[in-house]
Amino acid sequence: MNQEPIERIAVKTPESFVDASGKPYYGTFLSPFPNLNLLDFKPKKPLRRIFNKFRLTQWQATEVKTKNGIFLMAIYRFGLLNIHLVMFYDKDSNHFRVWNHTALFLNKSVPAKSLFNGSKAEYRSKKHYSEIINRYEEGFASVFGRTENKKSGLIEYDFRLKQRSKPSIVSIPIKEKYPLYTEKDLFDFEGSIKIDGVEMIDGSTFAIIDDHRGYYPRHSGYDWVTCFGEKTFDSKLMPFGLNLTEFRMNPDPKRFNENGYLDNTKFHFLPNVSFTKKAERITITDGSQVHLEFTTLSTHKISLNLLLFKIDYQLHIGLLNGTVHSADHQQIVFDNDLALSEYRYTII
C-alpha cells in the first residue's frame, strides 16, 4: 500500500482551531479542538470578515442504527437559517417518518461552542426540541428531545452515548481558502427512542455523532456514505463505522479527506474516493482499496430556493455491497448492509 501523506497522519491538536493571526489549522488531528473559534477566521479580503457569521455553516447530527431501522437527528445553523431534522427509517415498511422544522431570523438552532464540559447543541420551539450535551473529555455525550406532527406522530428520544474508539478529526481547505472542520465518533448506545409510545430500540446498538462546521464557497457540496454496526475482525465481532466523503472544491483530496473506518480502538485511514451515480445505484471506489456499490431503498429530499440561496439535499437509505481493504491487508466485506448516503449541493 502507498504510504499516507504527512497531512493524514494525526497530530497533536492545538488549543484553538484558528490561530491569533486568523489562520485555521489544516490536516488530521488526534483530539477535538478545545476552542472551535471559526468566527475568528480572517479571509484574505477584509470585507468578507464582516460576513463570517452569515456564511458559517454548523451542524451536529447523530445517527442510531437499530434492529427496526435508522434514527437521525440534526441541529443545523447557517447564518439566519435554522433547521431541525428528525427522521426514522422503518425497515419493514421501507418508509421514512420525518419531523422537519425550518426557521429564518430566529435563534432556534444553537450550535455547541465546543465538544467539552457539557457544551450543548440545542434546538427549541413550542413543538420541537432537541439537545446534544457534549462531554468528550470524558468520552460521553447525551441526546434528548421530542417533536411531533400530524403525519408522523410523536417521537421522543433520551439516550446516552459512550465513545468506543479514537475519532476522525480533519480540517480541509475547500477551494484552498475556506476552512472546513469535521469530527466523527462511534459510540455505544444506551437509552430509548419511542414513536407514539412504541419503543424502537431492541437490544444493544451503536451510534455516530457527526460534528461539522466551516465555510463553503458559493457553489459547493459533497457526496457521503456511512455504514456502522458490527463487523468480524480476526474471527471476532467488533463495533465498526465506515465514513467515505467526496467534497467538491477540495483542491487536494489525497492530502485532505475524512475517509476511513472506526473499530473498537481507533480510526483507520482510507484513500480518497469518487462517487458515480447511475439510476438508483452509486459506485464508490478509489480503484484499489475501496470497491462498493450502494443501492437506494428510500430517499428523503429537502429543496430550498431563496433568491441567492439554494439547497439541494438528498438523504438515501440503502444497501451497501462490496469490499474495503485496509492498510494491513484485512478485507472488510459488505453484504446488503443497511447504510446511509447523502448528496448535498448548495449555492450560498
pLDDT band for position 306 (cuts 50, 70, 90):
confident
Q: What is the rounded distance in angstroms from the CA atom of residue 180 to the CA atom of residue 210?
A: 13
CA 266 to chain centroid: 17
Radius of gyration of the chain (CA): 19
Output the average pLDDT for the chain: 93
The model's pLDDT over 234-283, given as tens digits with 9 standing for 90+, comes to 788 889 999 999 999 999 999 999 999 999 889 999 999 999 999 999 99
Give the whole-number percent of the chain exceeding pLDDT 90: 78
pLDDT of residue 200: 95
Lowest mean pLDDT among 173-182, 199-208, 302-311, 330-339: 302-311
The SS3 of residue 257 is coil
How many other β-carbons are positioned within 10 Å of the β-carbon of residue 302? 15
Q: What is the rounded distance in angstroms from the CA atom of residue 243 to the CA atom of residue 148?
A: 30
> What are the cell numbers at 204?
444493544
**Residue 203 reports pLDDT greater than 90:** no
Question: What is the mean predicted confidence (pLDDT) over 92-100?
Answer: 95
**Residue 116 reports pLDDT greater than 70:** yes
Question: What is the mean predicted confidence (pLDDT) over 333-345?
Answer: 96
Contact indicator for 209, 169 with CB cutoff of 8 Å? no
**Residue 212 reports pLDDT greater than 70:** yes
Contact indicator for 124, 107 with CB cutoff of 8 Å? no
Lowest mean pLDDT among 13-27, 181-195, 221-235: 221-235
Contact indicator for 310, 287 with CB cutoff of 8 Å? no
**Residue 125 reports pLDDT greater than 50:** yes
**Residue 63 reports pLDDT greater than 70:** yes
**Residue 2 reports pLDDT greater than 50:** no
pLDDT band for position 6 (cuts 50, 70, 90):
low
Contact indicator for 172, 192 with CB cutoff of 8 Å? no
Q: What is the rounded distance in angstroms from the CA atom of residue 247 to the CA atom of residue 241?
A: 19
Number of helical H runs and strand E runs in the chain: 2, 23
pLDDT of residue 104: 84
SS3 content of the chain, % helix, strand, coil (to 5): 5, 60, 35
Q: What is the largest CA-CA distance in the chain?
A: 58
- Sorted by sequence, the CB contacts under 8 Å of residue 246 that are 6+ apart come out as 222, 223, 224, 253, 272, 273, 274, 275
Domain boundaries, the chain: 6-347
Question: What is the mean predicted confidence (pLDDT) over 194-208?
Answer: 94
The model's pLDDT over 19-59, given as tens digits with 9 standing for 90+, comes to 999 999 999 999 999 999 999 999 988 777 888 988 999 99
**Residue 1 reports pLDDT greater than 50:** no
The SS3 of residue 197 is coil
Instruction: Name the residue among 26, 22, 33 with its Cα closest to residue 211.
Output: 33
DSSP 51: T
Question: What is the mean predicted confidence (pLDDT) over 160-183?
Answer: 95
User: How far from 267 is each of 70, 85, 209, 230, CA to CA, in Å?
Assistant: 23, 27, 14, 15
Q: Where are the alpha helices (DSSP H) in 184-235?
A: none
Which residues are bridge partners to 90 per DSSP? Answer: 69, 95
Q: Cβ-count burial of 172 within 10 angstroms (0-12 exposed, 13-18 middle, 19+ buried)?
A: buried
